[in-house]
């Protein structure tokens, strides 16, 4: 008596994330950004981080990878880096006016993208989905 073969949830998740991620990429690109830049901006705006290591953790990348993105963002005039006088090993990352403006443009694009994705789903269903995704992620997080 074969179990009803539910398609592997990992496959469904990966496929959906690929599709949604590409659409999100396009939305952000049209607004002059990208997913890593958006993640970094949103972390800077919403999460109090003491140093770049914590920022990298918040974004989910390595420190060297963060440096790579910050280099680009600094060249583009989105952020400044200066040493913390209290601990000169620490580099304080701060948004410029241009960085603030890009943040708002990307936020607008992200909100529009989210509303598009949510079409036809109730708030309850979205909450269910978020809960299920959280529980799934917890299962593959080693801690």
Cβ 28 to a copy of itself shortest distance, Å: 10
Residue 89 found at the interface with a copy of itself (CB under 8 A): no
Distance between CA 77 and CA 12 in Å, rounded? 39
Helix axes of 52-59 and 63-75: crossing angle, nearest 10 degrees: 100
Signed CA dihedral, 95, 111, 17, 139: sign only: positive
The pair of three-digit structure tokens given for residue 143, joined into one six-digit string: 């801690």
**Which residues touch 141 (CB under 8 Å, ≥6 apart)?**
none
Cβ-in-10-Å burial (0-12, 13-18, 19+) of 70 comes to buried
Beta bridge partners of 83: 91
Binding of a copy of itself at residue 24 (CB under 8 A)? yes
Instruction: Report the residue from 2, 7, 11, 89 that binds DNA according to the rule CB under 7 A.
Output: 89
Considering only 41, 44, 58, 70, the residue that binds DNA (CB under 7 A) is 70
Total number of residues that touch DNA (CB under 7 A):
26
Stretch that binds a copy of itself, among 20-28, 62-70, 75-83, 93-101 (CB under 8 A): 20-28
> Are 81 and 91 within 8 A, CB to CB?
yes
Q: Pick from a copy of itself, DNA, none: which does 30 bind, CB < 5 to 8 A by kind?
A: none
126 binds, among DNA, a copy of itself, none (CB under 5 to 8 A by kind): a copy of itself
**Contact flag: residue 125 with a copy of itself (CB under 8 A):** yes
Per CB under 8 A, residues contacting a copy of itself are 6-21, 23-24, 35, 42, 60, 110-111, 113-114, 116-121, 123, 125-130, 132-137, 139-141
């Amino acid at each position: 008596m074969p179990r009803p073969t539910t398609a592997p949830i990992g496959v469904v998740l990966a496929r959906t994330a690929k599709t949604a991620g590409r659409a999100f990429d396009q939305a952000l690109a049209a607004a002059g950004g990208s997913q890593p830049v958006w993640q970094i901006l949103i972390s800077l705006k919403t999460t109090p981080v003491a140093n770049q290591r914590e920022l990298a953790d918040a974004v989910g990348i390595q420190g060297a990878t963060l440096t790579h993105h910050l280099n680009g963002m600094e060249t583009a005039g989105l952020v400044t880096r200066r040493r913390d006088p209290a601990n000169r090993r620490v580099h304080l990352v701060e948004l410029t006016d241009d960085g603030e403006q890009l943040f708002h443009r990307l936020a607008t694009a992200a909100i529009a993208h989210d509303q598009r994705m949510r079409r036809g789903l109730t708030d309850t269903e979205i909450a269910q989905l978020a809960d299920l995704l959280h529980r799934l992620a917890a299962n593959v997080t080693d801690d």
